[in-house]
Structure 1
């Protein structure tokens, strides 16, 4: 889901923060003192920083695998082939296959200027994966009997075009018909003219509300960050808390996700790789590491790391934090019009995998779980620049699953260009 404001995409993906009606802030987490080597040992696996050469020739950092040597070698080659072909500076892949083994790799560079190697212990901006946290928070309010999925959005947020007929379910399923604010040319210009600008939820919604709705509620699928910003406002109104605080209290703490956070602005805990994008007014590649993600808020502003995302993948797919009835509602996926891809309440299915991907200028992620094998895949990269019209994170996920789970190949980008 490319969480991007650029015209070239349907703008699938991500993210924002607020000071007026929708403040979404928590202090940035303190930097972890552990090195990548310690991170591997903490997972019961051993690795060390490698010697690394010129860009494009870096060795794996913290390499660990308990899969067979043959499968490990195939994965190593496939990941490196995609990284080089797609021009991805740095890649982290974590794959866990119960009964078969695991595979954790960091390869390439975290910083193209210093050639600092990519490591497995870094934080990244997770873009649209934020949607899984926002919708989980919403569904907890459903379990609390404080809202219903079939409530009209007008009951909670005034001023939404056709809001009396658009339900919370429509918003979470991406079937509201509300225009995606990230596709508005004025928004694109305003964001890219000043990537440090702080946007409130109401400000970004205004860009989308200038446009006519694109279809009647429930009749079609259209990926729109407008939907998630509205759900964030619903959570704030019903809970009486800032979205970031509610997610921290009701989602992150119970899930024991200690390295996942909802930033107030551009703050970014260490360690983290630099992130590179060509979503600029000129189209030139820029370092987007410290761009303010407030514009993405409930749709894509969050930050996490490999360990937390591994844990979160299983929680989302199995519904650990929800009642069985509410989890069943989340998993009722509907066709998207994209081959092999269906979408439910803030999650998708592709090739049997359940989860979400994320994209925000500078970073892309994939976090998915395969219930049939109890397998988990997490991918983190430090670029969102497409390769021949495709998301580089999707290319990696397809290559990895084609080898590790050939009967269940991931092909889940939700941002057609």
Structure 2
């Protein structure tokens, strides 16, 4: 799961980048004062003024054209776009096809793999344990997981903030080889961590931002240790059921409930397109293995941004956004803000997702596409979200920049 990855996988390094199950940035950025436009816990909506266009028939026609344009540019087979603005209306459309073999049209009822949007669920599970008094955000990870490099100094907070310094396991060449040689392979969390832990720690905890899926694998293990349950069971009982998210699941294996769209990827050793629908998601686990649909992600984006499942003080901690190095974007505890839009994105072979909420307009935006093809370094989900928000909320245009990493080299920054 990655994001902000340039182009298509043609080389070893590009493949590794494609597998960086991220959801936002995968770049390294120094700490400092909050980035310009980044919200604090007290002020989660930095936009100076709210400019929102009602999605009437004329605006909907503009949106249709914009979405179709992105589909052509990025070579996207199918996409679902949902935008809801209380008091102004909604725009909900499905475009293209869900299955190239059968020609089945994309449908708003179809489920998709959501990549790094999973991170928002895993960190919410952690924060539910904080509210229950079972963990503390400033506990060292070594209290819960043994043999973590620098584990006595890395806190749970720093893992959730992407500031641990631990090497991203998806950047490891051996992981790259092992996964792509057998996409049906089942990985354990411990095996994933082993790819990371053979590399030195990159920097002292808290010093920099670096998007690393290793952080979320560890937080998944912390949830299991502190709760005494599997991550799957705890998420279902403490997050999905309270959130009434009946079409969202953390799969036990490669199962994929119907109806679902087929997912297509060119992130293969030879650059040829492959159907990645049933690739085993265990390699992403707590960082990106979950499945959802449009209606559930609509509800989840608001739950996430408003802190419905958390104590107010805990949600305030979550929304203490820190700089990432990109103007207008900042990262909190398993959540980011992009020009006022709060939530996360996700990308893994075959699928991309954006699920965000704009508190100033009480607006929700969800994008689900069935390919991870990029265009000029930009994830297609970012292009869809940017196109929609440029028209409807021009004062708050969602935009996650492309990575600055040179083509052909592994990237330390994800976005999906």
Please say if 1:119 is aligned against 2:111. Answer: no
1:207 aligns with 2:216: no
Distance 1:124 1:193, change over 3 A: same
- For the pair 1:11 / 2:20, whether they are aligned, the reply is yes
How does the TM-score come out when normalised to structure 1?
0.86
Stretch of structure 1 that moved more, 112-121 or 132-141: 112-121
What SS does the corresponding residue of 2:15 show, helix, strand or coil? coil
8 Å CA contact 1:391, 1:413 repeated in 2: no
- DSSP-derived class of the 1:315 partner: helix
CA distance in 1, matches of 2:283, 2:292: 18
Deviations 1:101-131 (A, max 9, x none): 1000000111122221111000000000000
Look up the match of 2:37.
none
Q: CA-to-partner distance for each residue in 1:323-369, whole Å, 9 max, x for gaps?
A: 00000000001001123210000000011000000011100000000
Is 1:69 the counterpart of 2:37? The answer is no
1:235 and 2:244 matched: no
| Partner SS state of residue 255, structure 1 | coil
Cα deviation for residue 414 of structure 1 reads 7.8
Matches within 5 A, 1:180-191: 180-191=168-179
3-state SS, counterpart of residue 277 of structure 2: coil
Aligned positions of 1:208-357 closer than 5 A: 208-357=196-345
Supply the distance in 2 between the matched residues of 1:414 and 1:84 (Cα, whole angstroms).
19
Asked if structure 2 preserves the Cα contact closer than 8 Å seen for 1:12 and 1:225, the reply is yes
C-alpha displacement of 1:416: 5.5
Gaps of 5+ in 2: 6-13, 24-53, 406-416
Within 5 Å, which residues of 2 pair with 1:97-176? 97-176=85-164
Q: Is the 8 A contact 2:372 2:379 kept in 1?
A: yes
CA distance in 2, matches of 1:160, 1:384: 32
1:401 aligns with 389
Moved more, 106-115 or 130-139: 106-115
Does the 8 A contact of 1:10 with 1:223 survive in 2? no
Q: Is the 8 A contact 2:21 2:287 kept in 1?
A: no
TM (norm. structure 2) is 0.86
Match of 1:391 in 2: 379
Greater relative contact order (CA < 8 Å, ≥ 6 in sequence): 2
Contact 1:309 1:378 in 2 (8 A): yes
1:84 to 44, 68, 72: 72
What secondary structure, in the 3-state scheme, does the structure 1 residue paired with 2:242 have? helix
Q: 8 Å contact 2:263–2:350 — kept in the other structure?
A: yes
Larger mean Cα displacement after TM superposition, 322-331 or 110-119: 110-119
C-alpha separation between the residues in 2 aligned to 1:165 and 1:414?
32
Would you say how many aligned residue pairs link Structure 1 and Structure 2? 367
Specify whether residues 8 and 156 from structure 1 end up closer, same or farther in structure 2 by C-alpha distance, changes over 3 A only: closer
**Aligned equivalents of 2:149 and 2:257: distance in 1?**
38
Q: Distance in 2 between matches of 1:348 and 1:388?
A: 23
SS in 2 for 1:316: helix
Alignment of 1:365 with 2:344, yes or no, is: no
- 1:34 maps to none
Distance 1:100 1:74 in 2: 16
Q: Please say if 1:94 is aligned against 2:82.
A: yes
* Secondary structure class of the residue paired with 1:380: strand
CA contact (8 A) 2:379 2:402 kept: no
Instruction: Find the aligned partners of 1:260 and 1:173 in 2 and give their Cα distance.
Output: 24
Q: CA deviation at 1:413?
A: 5.6
CA spacing shift, 1:272–1:10, aligned 2, 3 Å: closer
- The answer (yes or no) to whether the contact 2:248–2:291 under 8 Å persists in 1 is yes
The equivalent residue for 1:40 is none
Any idea what the Cα deviations from partners look like across 1:21-41, whole Å, max 9, x if unmatched? xxxxxxxxxxxxxxxxxxxxx
Contact between 1:2 and 1:414, CA under 8 Å: does it hold in 2? no
User: How far does the alpha carbon of each residue in 1:62-116 deviate from its partner, in whole angstroms, 9 at most, with x for none?
Assistant: xxxx831111111010000111111100010000011111000000111122221
- Provide the aligned C-alpha RMSD in A: 1.6
What 5-or-longer segments of structure 1 have no aligned partner?
Answer: 15-65
Alignment partners' CA distance in 1, 2:290 and 2:73: 29
The 3-state SS of whatever aligns with 1:195 is coil
What is the Cα deviation at residue 214 of structure 1?
1.1
